[in-house]
């Protein structure tokens, strides 16, 4: 692959993340049952921060089994072929950020800038947890026969 094609593919990969405010999460319960859901996120170099209620099945799963797979996918309406939608997946380690940690308030302030006053309301609820989804490995699929390994920051390898 030449530099121009690599640059174009990297831009497409980056754009999948930039254009969305939420990510899809696959998680697993302690007894192995799988669940899929979504959450709005704040992206920083460490990974993807989500602020989620323990009433949600995915939050319960992530707290018990601190692993997840996350997905960013091209909207169907924009895809030329539903079998070849561009998509980016990451296998993630999950870390809970304690409410007493300085990073907690900082990340929620960042979410408030991105998502508005709803974060102020959610902050008052005691069942919400700030989780960091730390990508470990990933894959970007740009179409038929175009699958690429990406690093933890989403850079093509």
| pLDDT, tens digit (0-9, with 9 covering 90-100), for 143-154 | 999 999 999 999
Residue 74, number of CB atoms within 10 A of its CB: 22
Instruction: List the domain range (segments joined by +) for residue 59.
Output: 3-150
Residue 157 lies in a domain: no
Residue 22 lies in a domain: yes
Phi, psi of 147 (to 5 degrees): -110, 135
Listed residue (129, 131, 150, 126) closest to 139, CA to CA: 150
Assess whether pLDDT exceeds 90 at residue 1.
Answer: no
The overall pTM is greater than 0.85: yes
CA distance to 30, 47, 99, per residue, from 138 (Å): 24, 12, 29
CATH number at residue 135: 2.30.110.10
Residue 47 lies in a domain: yes
Confidence of residue 67 (pLDDT cuts 50, 70, 90): very high
Domain count along the chain? 1
Give me the half-sphere count of Cα atoms (radius 13 Å) on the Cβ side of residue 108.
23
Residue 156 lies in a domain: no
Confidence of residue 80 (pLDDT cuts 50, 70, 90): confident
| Residues 2-29 pLDDT 10s | 999 999 999 999 999 999 999 999 999 9
Q: Which helix (H) or strand (E) holds 123?
A: helix 118-123
């Amino acid at each position: 692959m030449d530099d121009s094609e690599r640059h174009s593919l990297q831009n497409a990969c980056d754009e999948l993340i930039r254009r969305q405010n939420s990510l899809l999460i696959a998680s697993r319960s302690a007894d192995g049952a799988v669940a899929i859901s979504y959450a709005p996120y704040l992206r920083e170099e460490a990974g993807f921060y989500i602020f989620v209620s323990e009433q949600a099945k995915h939050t319960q799963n992530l707290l018990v089994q601190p692993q997840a797979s996350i997905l960013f996918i091209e909207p169907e309406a924009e895809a030329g072929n539903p079998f070849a939608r561009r998509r980016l997946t990451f296998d993630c380690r999950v870390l809970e950020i304690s409410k007493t940690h300085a990073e907690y308030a900082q990340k929620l302030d960042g979410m408030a800038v991105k998502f508005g006053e709803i974060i102020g309301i959610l902050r008052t609820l005691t069942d919400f947890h700030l989780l960091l989804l730390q990508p470990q490995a990933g894959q970007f699929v740009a179409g038929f026969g175009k699958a690429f390994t990406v690093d933890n920051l989403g850079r093509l390898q």
